[in-house]
């Protein structure tokens, strides 16, 4: 039994998304992307996917097996990571979507992200260092002064130094209002930072000569709560007298993560000896607002990572199911007949089609979201930019959560397809299952995303974002009708969108009455409902593009037939759940509102 090499992502699917579903080359009509064409997109994609398959993926298993070591106060990463770190930077990953004036290639985010998805599917830990670094650089690019840019941003974008997000503290967790790290202004202009942070990914390592931590802390005398939190760039070693000197940033401990095992997650101490220099980014007390630029980018990256992790496992399961002979078709009772590959069993095909629907639905979702990010930043018309920004804001919690939550289910199915073998570390699906679990936690848990969607995003601007989404869905329905997609799917999606709109009005009214608890009680269910609809919208768009492809005789026809099967699956199996979820949200069902801690 030979299992084929895992492609990580299906190239044909990426091509389909960019060129048949989203028409990404149209972005090149915008000035920012004017130097690009489909050919430059493909060049970048091709170099990333080749590197992912040939260089990066072979490092995944050894890196997972040997987590970073913490010795003598410093973290040493797996040697394989050192070998791939520089070549990854040379691919242009750090600056692919950034402007030319900071050394970037000005590629659309939708292209950069799909290329990045190959790398994440190959070795997500290796990508973690770079994702944090480019996001940290971007934060300084946007809000930092020229000194910060020349000192930190340039070295981050060059990959000479790496970056981190240092938000979370042990006593506060997700509650950023409770950040206690302190910053005392000195006469020299810098601040002395003091405090403990936890879960700092890439907080120490030996891949680069320096690390820039973006730290949330309170300037002495700042107001309590989130309105008193400022943002600082705090290097591991600070430039002083033309060289780098230690900056009183210490590793306090290593968290033994169950996945992402190439990327250390650390407890860090800043300023234990009173000598930790921090450099204010932007204005005082604006740290949370600034950090949300990095956080929102990171949330979308979580979605991409989740989709990529589910994709790698799905292709592994598919390869296994095509190769592994076992049993015979239902009704074939002759035990002397040869066994068939397990893909021939209906339940195995069900598990694979569910994975396909989740994986490709997730990839379409993250691509669509990235395209709105491109338009929000670079569309010619300010009205169009605002509209795209609304859609981006609305879709961010969904893009962060759906691939993470359903991706975990998809990863579990990939393991299940492997049967008893899947339960062993000799096969890869269990590792991706461990990796995936982080995505419902970091950068805001699923619970927090639900509150963000229902408590902020859908009600902001009088529901403008939801209306904009309705417009986009209508457009897709129109395209689907013209392409000859099943009218029932179009009708069901339209009806479900109306349902979501009515439900949102109903819940918003409770909020306007001041009953915030009632409004948000079922925010997790609301998020699930919205996710099912948004992914149904993606599947309708893919079904339309598939019908168009079949109509013009594009090949292979089987690729399009598979898309239509997966769309059918989603419309028959998932979308019908919308009704019960909407009824549940609307009902005000109060079991866990009533439940008291002592009743458990």
Active site residues: 443
Q: How far is the CB of 180 from its own copies (least distance, A)?
A: 11
Q: Which tokens go with 448?
A: 């927090």
Q: Rule CB under 8 A: say whether 501 interacts with its own copies.
A: no
Q: Rule CB under 8 A: say whether 456 interacts with its own copies.
A: no
Q: How far is the CB of 161 from its own copies (least distance, A)?
A: 25
Q: Rule CB under 8 A: say whether 257 interacts with its own copies.
A: yes
Which residue among 83, 423, 488, 512 contacts its own copies (CB under 8 A)? Answer: 423
> How many chain residues touch its own copies (CB under 8 A)?
103
Which residue among 31, 58, 173, 487 contacts its own copies (CB under 8 A)? Answer: 173
Q: Which tokens go with 2?
A: 């030979």
Q: Rule CB under 8 A: say whether 289 interacts with its own copies.
A: no
Site for its own copies in 219-238 (CB under 8 A): 224-226
Q: Rule CB under 8 A: say whether 177 interacts with its own copies.
A: yes
In this structure, are residues 396 and 369 in contact, taking their beta carbons and an 8 Å threshold? yes
* Interaction pattern, residues 539-568, with its own copies; x per rule: CB under 8 A: -------------------xx-xx--xx-x
Coil, strand or helix: which one is 268? strand
In this structure, are residues 307 and 363 in contact, taking their beta carbons and an 8 Å threshold? yes
Dihedral angle computed from the Cα positions of residues 13, 17, 20 and 26, in that order, rounded to the nearest 10 degrees: -140
Q: Rule CB under 8 A: say whether 255 interacts with its own copies.
A: yes
Q: Rule CB under 8 A: say whether 93 interacts with its own copies.
A: no
Residue 244 or 564: which CB sits closer to its own copies? 564
Residue 33 or 427: which CB sits closer to its own copies? 427
Cis geometry, peptide bond prior to residue 415 (ω within 30 degrees of 0):
no
Which of 159, 43, 157, 55 is CA-nearest to residue 111?
Answer: 43
Q: Rule CB under 8 A: say whether 577 interacts with its own copies.
A: yes
DSSP string, 44-83: HHHHHHHHIIIIIHHHHHHHHHSPPEEETTEEE--HHHHH
Site for its own copies in 63-92 (CB under 8 A): none
Q: Rule CB under 8 A: say whether 406 interacts with its own copies.
A: no
Q: How far is the CB of 202 from its own copies (least distance, A)?
A: 15
In this structure, are residues 466 and 397 in contact, taking their beta carbons and an 8 Å threshold? no
Q: Rule CB under 8 A: say whether 422 interacts with its own copies.
A: yes
Residue 483 or 520: which CB sits closer to its own copies? 520
Query: What's the maximum distance between 2 C-alpha atoms anywhere in the chain?
Result: 88
Q: Rule CB under 8 A: say whether 573 interacts with its own copies.
A: yes
Q: Rule CB under 8 A: say whether 284 interacts with its own copies.
A: no
Which residue among 95, 396, 446, 476 contacts its own copies (CB under 8 A)? Answer: 446
Q: Rule CB under 8 A: say whether 241 interacts with its own copies.
A: no
Q: Rule CB under 8 A: say whether 11 interacts with its own copies.
A: no
CA distance 518 to 521: 5
Dihedral angle computed from the Cα positions of residues 410, 413, 417 and 418, in that order, rounded to the nearest 10 degrees: 90
Site for its own copies in 151-170 (CB under 8 A): 168
CA distance 54 to 122: 9
In eight-state DSSP terms, residue 341 is B
191-201/277-280 β-pairing: antiparallel
Which residue among 189, 335, 382, 462 contacts its own copies (CB under 8 A)? Answer: 335
Q: Rule CB under 8 A: say whether 523 interacts with its own copies.
A: yes
Who's near 83: CB < 8 A, 6+ residues apart?
59
């Amino acid at each position: 039994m030979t299992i084929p090499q895992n492609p990580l992502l299906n190239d044909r699917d990426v091509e389909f998304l960019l060129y048949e579903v989203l028409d990404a080359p149209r972005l090149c009509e915008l000035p920012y992307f004017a130097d690009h064409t489909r050919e430059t997109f493909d060049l970048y994609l091709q170099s990333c996917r080749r590197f992912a398959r040939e260089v990066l993926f072979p490092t995944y298993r050894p890196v997972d097996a040997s987590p970073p070591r913490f010795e003598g106060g410093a973290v040493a990463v797996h040697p394989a990571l050192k070998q791939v770190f520089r070549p990854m930077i040379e691919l242009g990953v750090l600056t692919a979507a950034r402007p030319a004036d900071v050394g970037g290639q000005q590629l659309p985010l939708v292209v950069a992200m799909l290329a990045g998805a190959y790398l994440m599917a190959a070795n997500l830990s290796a990508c973690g260092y770079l994702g944090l670094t480019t996001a940290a650089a971007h934060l300084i690019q946007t809000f930092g002064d020229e000194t910060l840019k020349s000192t930190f941003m340039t070295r981050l974008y060059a990959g000479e130094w790496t970056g981190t997000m240092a938000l979370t503290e042990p006593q506060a967790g997700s509650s950023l209002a409770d950040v206690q790290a302190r910053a005392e202004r000195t006469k020299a202009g810098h601040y002395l930072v003091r405090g403990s942070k936890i879960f700092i990914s890439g907080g120490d390592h030996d891949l680069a000569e320096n690390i820039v931590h973006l730290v949330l802390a309170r300037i002495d005398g700042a107001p309590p709560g989130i309105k008193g939190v400022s943002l600082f760039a705090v290097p591991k070693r600070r430039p002083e007298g033309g060289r780098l000197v230690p900056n009183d940033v210490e590793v306090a401990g290593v968290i033994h993560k169950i996945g992402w095992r190439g990327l250390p997650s650390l407890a860090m101490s800043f300023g234990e000896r009173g000598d930790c220099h921090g450099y204010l980014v932007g204005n005082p007390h604006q740290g949370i607002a600034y950090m949300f630029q990095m956080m929102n980018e990171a949330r979308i990256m979580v979605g991409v990572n989740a989709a990529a992790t589910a994709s790698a496992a799905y292709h592994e399961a598919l390869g296994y199911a095509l190769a592994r002979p076992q049993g015979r078709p239902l009704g074939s009772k002759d035990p002397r007949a040869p066994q068939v590959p397990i893909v021939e069993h209906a339940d195995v095909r069900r598990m694979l089609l569910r994975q396909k629907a989740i994986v490709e639905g997730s990839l379409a979702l993250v691509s669509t979201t990235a395209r709105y990010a491109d338009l929000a930043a670079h569309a010619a018309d300010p009205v169009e930019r605002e509209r795209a920004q609304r859609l981006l804001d609305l879709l961010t919690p969904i893009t962060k959560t759906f691939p993470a939550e359903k991706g975990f289910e998809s990863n579990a199915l990939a393991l299940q397809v492997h049967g008893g073998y899947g339960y062993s570390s000799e096969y890869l699906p269990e590792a991706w299952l461990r990796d995936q679990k982080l995505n419902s936690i970091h950068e805001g848990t699923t619970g927090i995303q639900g509150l963000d969607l229902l408590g902020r995003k859908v009600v902001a601007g009088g529901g403008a974002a939801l209306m904009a989404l309705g417009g986009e869905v209508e457009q897709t329905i129109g395209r689907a009708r013209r392409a000859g997609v099943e009218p029932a799917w179009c009708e069901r999606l339209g009806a479900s969108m109306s349902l979501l709109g009515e439900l949102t009005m109903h819940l918003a009214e409770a909020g306007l009455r001041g009953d915030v608890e009632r409004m948000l009680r079922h925010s997790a269910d609301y998020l699930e409902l919205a996710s099912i609809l948004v992914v149904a919208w993606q599947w309708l768009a893919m079904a339309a593009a598939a019908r168009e492809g079949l109509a013009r005789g594009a090949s292979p026809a089987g690729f399009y037939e598979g898309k239509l099967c997966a769309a059918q699956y989603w419309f028959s199996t998932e979308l019908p759940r919308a009704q019960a979820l909407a009824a549940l949200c609307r009902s005000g069902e109060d079991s866990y509102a009533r439940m008291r801690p002592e009743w458990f």
